[in-house]
């Protein structure tokens, strides 16, 4: 079953995420980070650059996978991930409002590439915090010429 191309541009309901010192520390330890900023108990504590994976990749994608009209299926792999940060780092106490959106659906051979964008803003100021862009590859779901001919 192919993904529904009409869903490109669809925005899903926003969700909030609170950045805490404990979450930053836990993530840094899991990565084996030694940078003191990530393990600090002081005001200089900041999140590592990939920390956004904690609240964008799985949680941001959950709404898409719950959408019965999108046509997702379990034969998939994570294709790529990137983060674009705003002016200030993520720190303990920050509350983010994150909005998932389907940015693109494209086809490569027998596979489809679903690009998911999750734009997060600082709840207190509305300024951009981080935007996550992930590509999920759905294996074997691209429409084939035979399928298109049979539908005509």
Give dist(CA 83, CA 86) in Å, integer.
10
Residue 146: the pLDDT is: 56
Residue 150: the pLDDT is: 46
Give dist(CA 146, CA 139) in Å, integer.
18
Residue 110: the pLDDT is: 95
> What mean pLDDT, rounded, does the chain reach?
93
Domain extent for 135: 5-19+47-151
Residue 94: the pLDDT is: 98
Residue 61: the pLDDT is: 87
Asked if the structure places residue 30 within a domain, the reply is: no
| Number of compact structural domains in the chain | 1
Asked if the structure places residue 57 within a domain, the reply is: yes
Which residues in the chain land under pLDDT 50?
147-152
Asked if the structure places residue 127 within a domain, the reply is: yes
Q: What is the pTM of this model?
A: 0.89
Residue 143: the pLDDT is: 83
For residue 138, give the CATH number of its domain: 3.10.129.10
Number of H helices, E strands in the chain: 4, 5
């Amino acid at each position: 079953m192919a993904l529904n191309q009409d869903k490109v541009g669809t925005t899903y309901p926003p969700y909030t995420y609170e950045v805490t010192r404990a979450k930053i520390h836990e993530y840094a330890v899991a990565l084996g980070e030694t940078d003191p900023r990530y393990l600090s108990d002081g005001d200089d504590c900041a999140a590592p650059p990939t920390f956004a994976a904690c609240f964008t990749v799985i949680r941001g994608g959950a709404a898409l996978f719950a959408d019965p009209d999108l046509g997702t299926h379990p034969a998939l792999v994570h294709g790529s991930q990137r983060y674009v940060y705003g002016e200030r780092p993520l720190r303990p106490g920050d509350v983010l409002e994150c909005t998932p959106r389907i940015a693109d659906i494209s086809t490569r051979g027998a596979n489809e590439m679903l690009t998911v964008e999750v734009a997060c803003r600082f709840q207190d100021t509305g300024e951009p915090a981080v935007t996550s862009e992930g590509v999920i590859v759905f294996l074997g779901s691209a429409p084939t010429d035979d399928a298109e001919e049979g539908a005509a």
